[in-house]
Amino acid sequence: MNIGIFGGSFNPPHMGHLIVAESVRDQLRLDKILFIPAAQSPNKPDTSLAVAKHRLEMTELAVKGCTGFEVSNIEIERKGLSYTVDTVQALAALYPNSDLSLIIGSDNLIEFEAWKSPDEIVLKANLIVMSRPGFSPNMSKSKYLRSAKIVNVPQVGISGTDIRRKVKLGRSIRFLVPKSVEDYILTKRLYKD
């Protein structure tokens, strides 16, 4: 089985996440993509980070009914800082006969060598690099660029930061997030403070 690992804060999960994940899944013929909300990112401390439980529930709502998409709570259950190497090692043990691929943006490739144990990550998982606005993979001098599979994905101008700002201002987020996620945000009064 070919499994894509798609991690992030998912604060909140939005249509951009779904669009790029589907593009990667389709182009590379992956059997499934695991969406993995981080407990706490070591690279992106975020003061507006919703509680992990809420981000996990929103991610589950976002992918519900989407063939080939699943959510894993592996990082949230582990708690603490979410290091990719720990997640990849745990998934390799959970899926011993599967081909794992870590999906990152080209902006992440630029700093990938500074991640915890990048050599161990690429021993257990292929590296898939998605194109991102303003970041060409060629901007990276990373030694991992040679072994990475570069995938052009649609450039969707949706960001979690903008969604949170709109919610705080009482503006519409319709069509930026799935309807179920929008309802969850409004019902739980997330991102208001």
What Å distances lie between residue 5 and 54, 101, 177, CA to CA? 20, 6, 21
Share of the chain above pLDDT 90, in %: 78
| pLDDT (mean) for 105-120 | 91
pLDDT tens figures, 136-184: 666 667 788 888 999 999 999 999 999 999 999 999 999 999 999 999 9
Q: What is the pLDDT of residue 138?
A: 62
C-alpha–C-alpha distance, residues 6 and 121, integer Å: 14
* Residue 134, pLDDT above cutoff 80: no
pLDDT digits (tens, 9 = 90+) for 77-92: 997 888 999 999 999 9
Measured between alpha carbons, how far is 97 from 59 in angstroms, rounded to an integer? 26
48: three-class secondary structure by DSSP:
coil
Q: What is the Cα–Cα distance from 14 to 19, expressed in whole angstroms?
A: 9
Domains of the chain: 2-156 (3.40.50.620)
Residue 3 confidence (pLDDT) above 90: yes
Q: Which of 114, 153, 121, 117 is nearest to 135 (CA)?
A: 153
Mean pLDDT of the chain: 92
